[in-house]
Amino acid sequence: MRQRPYAFLRVGSRWINMTMVTDIEDHGERLTIYMASDMARLAGAKDPSPIDVARRVSVEAPEEVEKIRRWLLLHDED
């Protein structure tokens, strides 16, 4: 049984906050991971207004693709 949730997953040389992942496209041997990040737009305004920016990461290493698929299966809520 899992004692605590693991939100960060190391993929290659970067850490991915899996709670910020909005979508994952499966292209067979390659996964495309889309993440949302909140940013503040400061230019031209006195008050910052938040905007959403989508980031995209492609994962092609077979061991990393399997690692992400395993993580998704372990953390599936439905």
Tens of pLDDT, residue by residue, the chain (78 residues): 454 556 788 888 888 888 888 889 999 899 999 887 765 555 555 666 666 667 888 999 999 999 999 988 887 765
Q: So where are the chain's domains?
A: 8-74
- CA proximity to 8, closest of 69, 18, 39: 18
Can you give the pLDDT at residue 42? 53
Distance, C-alpha 56 to centroid of its chain: 8
